[in-house]
Structures are given as structure tokens and as C-alpha cells.
Structure 1
Amino acid sequence: MRAIVFAAVLLAAGPALAQAEDAAPIVAAERAFAADAPLLGLTASFNKWSVPDAVMIGDGEVQTVRDVFPPDIPRPADEIRLEWWPNFAGISRSGDLGFTTGGVAVNGRRTGHYFTIWKRQPDGDWKWVYDSGSGASAADVPGPDTEPAILPPGPELLQVVTSLDRPPPPMAADWAMTRVREEEAALARAAMTDQRAAHLAAMSDNGRLYVAPLPPAIGRTAFAEALAGWPATFRFGPTEGGGQSQYGDLVWTYGPAAWIRDGQEWTGHYVRLWQRQEGGFRIVLAQLIPAPPPAGG
């Protein structure tokens, strides 16, 4: 009875949706964004399709899109030809937050993967709030003429809450982010002694893991093999930013990371997408973005 009462409180405080949203609008937005790049140039297209404070991570820094692509800088005559296309996508049950990820090519050569978080704006348009890349191999991923795989929605709140053996915390606007921060902290503690086991415990069976330069790892066997390519331990700092869907079923995070490889200290950032599933939040996409190599590295 207690679980049912708390379920009613949660469902009254947030949108209770019986049907999952369709990810097609996000896929269409990503493809329109990609199509604009050769027409408008990278600066104009990246600014057109993002919110002004959208996050980009590269060269060891967290920057806004306008830091990376200042709107007043003319398009260079020798601008690279950047192409990308979605291979994997998903959307929240509230239809306000989603993602796509897929292959990237520079001047016709496949170089890695992008990962974009999209947020629906008050006027109904989709703009991205995070965009960055991974050096994971795109050599064998499906091409631009294929449809992306779609992440299935997680269970509805009522299913999750009635399965709990203890009351959930008080409802708040950022309750899902608060819960994921706890998961991030637990992952960070475990990764200090065994990152492979820590990630395997946190990953969703239907998630994707980018461990460059390997291709995207999909499925638990692939996760285990790919994680062997990372150092045995990581030091993950607290979550620095991210966001959650209105329904609380999708949460994205980023923060600092440090590790030792070949006797040298490396730094960078982790970026993760969490989905609320039966049993708790699980990672459905994880990437590590290294800073430039240390001197002599």
C-alpha cells in the first residue's frame, strides 16, 4: 500500500505517459543538421541547430558551441568536409529529451563517432545541448542510407515505484539527476579499484560503449572485451553537468576523469547517458574523451 501511495505522488508530480514517444523527430533533426553543414558551413550549422550555451568537449576543455564556433568568424575557404549520420537513437517518454550517435567521416574518411543530446524547445523545435565525438572505429558501422537502431523505452514510473521495497525520495524537479549523481559516485568509488567490474555493473545490456580505437561495443560480451582496453582503474570526478528529461527516464552527465597509462598521468572527461530501467538507472551510452596527450606521451 505504501508503494502505491508513493507511486500516486510521483505520477501526479510528473507526466504519466502510457505510450513511448517516437524518436523519428530527433533522427530527422540530426539529419537536417548534418545536411546543413556543407551548405552553410560548420560554424553556421552548429550554431543554427544548438542552444547558445550548448556543451562541447574537446582538447581537455568543456566549452560552449559559441566558444568552439564563434558566430562572427567567416567560413574558411579550406574548411574540412565533415559528414555524420545516426546509427543509434532514443527519446524520453516525455518526448522532451533524446539522443543520436553514429559514424563520422572527415573529407570522405571515416574517423570515429559523434554523440549528440537533443532537447525539445518551448516552440517545439529540437536543438542540441551537447555534442562531441569519440575515436571509436566507424569502419564497419552501417552507412548514411540505413535507419538507426532505436533504444527501447524504459518502464513507466508506476512499474518502477511499485517494485521498490522502500519509499522513493521526495519528488523534486531534478530528482532523476540527483539519483544518477549517486550512481555516478558509486561508479567512481568502484572504478578506483576495478573499472572493468564497475562499468559492467552499471551498463545496460542494450547500451553502447565507446572505447577508442575499437568499434562500438554492443552487448555484455563486447563490453567486457572492450573494457580490457582501458586502464585497470580510473579516478572519476563528481558530475559537473548534464540534464534530465521531464519524465526522469533519461539523464545525461559529464565530468572529469584521470588515469595512468604507461606510467604517465592522463586526463579527460567522461560522458554518459543513463536510462531508468527496472532495477534502477543503467548506462545506455558511455564515452571517454581524452585531453591532449601529456608531454612525451
Structure 2
Amino acid sequence: MINKIICTLMAATCTLGAFAQNTDGSTGSLVKAEQEFAAKAAKDGVKSAFNAYTANGALVFRPNPVDAKTFYASQPDDKNLSWEPSYARVSRSGDWGFTSGGYTLNGETKSYGEYLSVWKAINGRWELVLDLGAEHHKPLQPVTTHFVEPKDYFKPKFSGPKQVAAGKDIILTTEKTLDATLKSYGIAAYGGFLNPDARVIFPGYEPVIGKDKIIAFYNSMVSKMSIRTVGADKALGGDLAYTYGIATIDYRTDLRESFNYVFIYERQPDYNWNLIQQIYTPAER
């Protein structure tokens, strides 16, 4: 009887482990969770993988934000989507992190793109809370991995609702300032908000990496941009934050288009918040 109980517990543990990777606060554990997520999609289907790895209340942008479990409840369990993380970071508090990389969709015609996923540590396991992607042509640039481990561990002893709300307010204020600066100075305003190694994922283009290249990219096609924040969250470690919302872009060709976006911010030594990752995906009205 005892052996039967032990075997049952071991089987349950293995089953849970297959659905969500334990987190030890490292970027390595998050990358492993992403890779196991992709492996499950290849083996059992995309619907099964998302149902197993997404948190309750998670949002997927398909193309507008929708509850992940609600969306995949009505989707076929296809095995035609594959992806691999190439960039990942985790907050020094270990409570959330993000991954991004290339994906391939094998439909009637093969398509390619880049994705960004935000993960949170829930009950000791990584669970997906945000996911979106932007399609582009077949990749021409070589892929290099960049997985950044937290520089140390820090989590405040007291982090109640008031502290969490105050942290979100800081990020909302930062993005409100970004929007006001864009309205006043145009796309050049990004120069004051981008990290030197920032990345942009934009539909139709492979990732643009580096502040100077991003500014040149924006200047080449964007006349004006405005952003409206819908949601935000800040890591308890105080080093990383993300926002999502709607960006309205006026192109130099006198066309206007709306996008859903997710921005990732990092706090700098001077306590300013700089963008380290941006992704846009077309929004449906």
C-alpha cells in the first residue's frame, strides 16, 4: 500500500513537472520552461500546450488581447507551430521574466515571425501571462542567444497591495511621460527612453537591435506615434517592468495604423526607466 502511494505521488509530480517548469529565480529555469512549452506544443498540439502552461487570466494577442484559456478552448489542437527562445531575462526578485525568439508556422504556406512572452512565478512554477507575435519574412540574419541572469537576488520584506500599486504607478507615469514627449518632439523622443542594447519587434521586419538602429528604423517610416497604456506591472525587485496597450502610428506615407504593443522596461542606476524590448502587432478595430 505504501509503495502504491509513493508511486502515485511520483506520477503526479512527474505530470505536474511536464506541464510547468519549477522556477529557482534564474533565467535558465525560465528558458527551460519555454523550451518544454514548445516541446509539448510539438508533441501534443498548441492548444494542449497553452492550456497546460498559461496562468488563469493570461492574455494572448490574437490579434487583440483575449483570455488565453477562453481563446484556446475553441481552437484545434494543431502541431504546426514551433518556436525557440533567443533572448530572456528574469527580475532579480524572481517573480517574473520574459522570453522572445523566432517562430515558424507550417500552414498551407510556411510563415515566420518573432514572439514575446511574459511569465510569472506562481506557486513555485513558471506560468505564461502574456503572449504575442509579429510576422516577418523568412529570417536572413543569424540568430544569437542572449540569456541574462539576474545580477543578484532582492525581494522586499514588505510588499503589500499599496507597495505593488505604487510600483505600477511609477511605470504608468513613465509611459505617460513617453507619450507626452512623443507628442511634443516626435519619434526622436525615443532617444531618451531606449537602452543602448534595446530591441524592437515590428511586423514585416526581423528584430531591430541597438538604440541607434532603432531610431533610424523609426525615423525611416514613422511620422508620429501615440501610445495608450492599458495595463502595467513592475517586478518586486524593482528592476524590470512591462506595459501593454494601443499604439497609433502615422507613417510618412500619410497612412495611419493601430497596433497592440508590449513594452519591457529596465530601471537604470539613475532610477530612470529605459525600454529594453518593444513588440507591436496589428490591432483589429
Query: In which range does the TM-score fall when normalised by the shorter chain?
Result: 0.7 to 0.9
1:217-266 deviation per Cα after TM superposition (whole angstroms, max 9, x unaligned): 111221122212442111211x2113221212111110122233444442
Specify which of 63, 66, 70 is matched with residue 63 of structure 1: 66
The separation in 2 between residues aligned to 1:252 and 1:96, in whole angstroms, is: 13
Higher relative contact order (CA 8 A, sep 6+): 1
If the length of structure 2 is used for normalisation, what is the TM-score? 0.79
Indicate how the Cα distance of structure 1 residues 105 and 251 shifts in structure 2: closer, same or farther if over 3 A, else same.
same
| Ranges in structure 2 where 5+ consecutive residues have no aligned partner | 1-23, 155-161
Point out the structure with the larger helix share. 2
Match of 2:279 in 1: 287
Deviation at 1:84, TM superposition (A): 0.5
Match of 1:111 in 2: 112
Gap regions ≥5 residues in structure 1 = 1-19, 158-170
Contact 1:257 1:267 in 2 (8 A): yes
Q: Percent same amino acid among aligned pairs?
A: 25
Q: Who is 1:251 aligned against?
A: 241
For residues 29-71 of structure 1, the C-alpha deviation after alignment (integer angstroms, 9 at most, x for no partner) is 0000000112221111111101021011233x2211023211x
The Cα offsets for residues 160-185 of structure 1, whole Å up to 9 and x where unpaired, read as: xxxxxxxxxxx822333211111101
8 Å CA contact retained: 2:99, 2:118 = yes
The structure with more strand, counted as a fraction of residues: 2
TM-score, structure 1 normalization = 0.76
Partner of 2:46: 42
Distance in 2, Cα, partners of 1:26 & 1:195:
37
Q: 1:231 to 1:74 in 2, by over 3 A?
A: closer
CA distance in 1 between partners of 2:214 and 2:30 (Å): 27
Q: Is this contact kept in 2: 1:200–1:223, CA < 8 A?
A: no
Supply the distance in 1 between the matched residues of 2:209 and 2:75 (Cα, whole angstroms): 40
Cα distance in 2, alignment partners of residues 230 and 68 from structure 1: 33
Other structure's SS at 1:87 match: strand
Distance across 1 between alignment mates of 2:111 and 2:281: 18
Q: Which residue of 2 aligns with 1:189?
A: 180
- What CA distance in whole angstroms lies between the structure 1 residues aligned with 2:44 and 2:186? 42
What is the aligned counterpart of 1:31 among 35, 47, 71?
A: 35
Partner of 2:100: 101
Give the Cα separation in 2 of the matches to 1:284 and 1:99: 11
**Separation in 1, partners of 2:178, 2:265:** 13
Tell me: CA distance 1:275–1:135, structure 2 relative to 1, closer, same or farther (3 Å): same
Mapped partners of 2:236, 2:137: distance in 1: 33
2:266 to 255, 275, 278: 275
1:110 shift after superposition: 5.2
